[in-house]
Amino acid sequence: TSRGWLTAERVALLPAGALVVNVARGDLAPSSVLLEGLRAGGLGGVALDVYASEAALAEALRRGERPEDPEALAALELMARPDVLCTPHNAFNTEEALARKAGQSVEQVVAWLERGAFVWEAPG
């Protein structure tokens, strides 16, 4: 498994001032490890479009609350740093994915108009 692959020990092996870019999976590089690497001065910067503990982070951001999950909290601290670039993950926005989403949206509207119910109900 790649979960937690980037450890403090691996960060210590990087050249001083190294930049870490994670566009793969959030759990590959835990936010706490990245934050400590920046605080210690070993890392020169971080760029992310995926985040560890993404569900807990998203929930905290939606509610405007401080997350209880330590990785989500570390991610918020990363986002506030000037040496960190955070962007939304947009790998799902291919031409095919957009066409599929548009088709599903039309299906939902048609189902609502014809039956008064959606094909896929929104979770609770």
Dist. CA 56–CA 72, nearest whole Å: 6
Write phi, then psi, for 79 (nearest 5 degrees).
-60, -25
Are 49 and 88 in contact by the 8 Å Cβ rule? The answer is: yes
Dist. CA 101–CA 13, nearest whole Å: 43
Dist. CA 104–CA 107, nearest whole Å: 5
Return the active site residues.
25, 54
Structure tokens at 34: 């990245």
